[in-house]
Each structure stands twice: as C-alpha cells, then as structure tokens.
Amino acid sequence: MRIGEVADRAGVSTRALRYYEEQGLIAPDRTGSGQRTYPESAVERVQLIQRFFTAGLPSRTVRQLLPCVDTGHGSPEAFAMMAAERDRITAAMADLAAARDALDRLIDIAHHPTPEHCPALREPAWAPYDAAVTGA
C-alpha cells in the first residue's frame, strides 16, 4: 500500500507518516524506485501511534513502548515509563493551573484597581523620574 492510501485510511497526513518513519515508529519497505510501501497492518499501527500522541507521550517514549505492543507483553519498565509520563503531565497541568490563577488575579486587579496595585491612584501619583536620585 502506498503512503497516500495509508494516510487516508489512518486519518493522518503523509507528512505525519514521514515523521513517524524518521522517528523510528514505522518502517516502510521501499520499491526499486524508492517509493514507500506499507503492509495492511500499518493503518492500525499509525492509529495506535496517534493514540499514544493524544495521550501526551513524546515520540521517544512511543518508540520505547512499541516493542511491548509488538510482543503483547508490557514490561515493568514500560509501565514505569508510562507512570513517569503521567506524572510529567500532571505536573504540567499544575503549572498551567497556577499560571491561570495568577492571570485571574491580574484580570481582577485590572477590573478593580486599588492604590496598592495602580500607581496612578496613589497620592501623589507617579513621581517624576530623577536620575540624580537613582544614581543613573
């Protein structure tokens, strides 16, 4: 099967297939003229790779997990790797939640400015810049 047919059937672009090949996730055969050919099983393989990517796994981790898929046996290392990736995603989610909360505070301050947060509301307002005072 040619690259375009695999891409259509798997719901990905031909560019994605070339990337998967570059990353060592799939290995098509080549014709005498260098064109890629894939077995029927490539469609399912590409869909599995997509599921791994949707789960947030990077290609290096997917490459390490695929032998477990091929043998049908998950190793303790594979399960540990997936748990580590889950922990990484959880930490990233916590970081994003903290950033969102900080932005929410800034939005609230912008909607309800106080002298504490807005120099223009202070008495006196902004002091003129004096280079002699700052030593600049």
Burial of 57 (0-12, 13-18, 19+ CB in 10 A): buried
What digits encode the pLDDT tens for the residues 71-128? Answer: 999 899 999 999 999 999 999 999 999 999 999 999 999 898 888 877 777 776 665 6
CA 101 to chain centroid, in Å, comes to: 21
Burial of 50 (0-12, 13-18, 19+ CB in 10 A): middle
- Which of 72, 11, 4 has its CA nearest to residue 38? 4
pTM of the complete model? 0.71
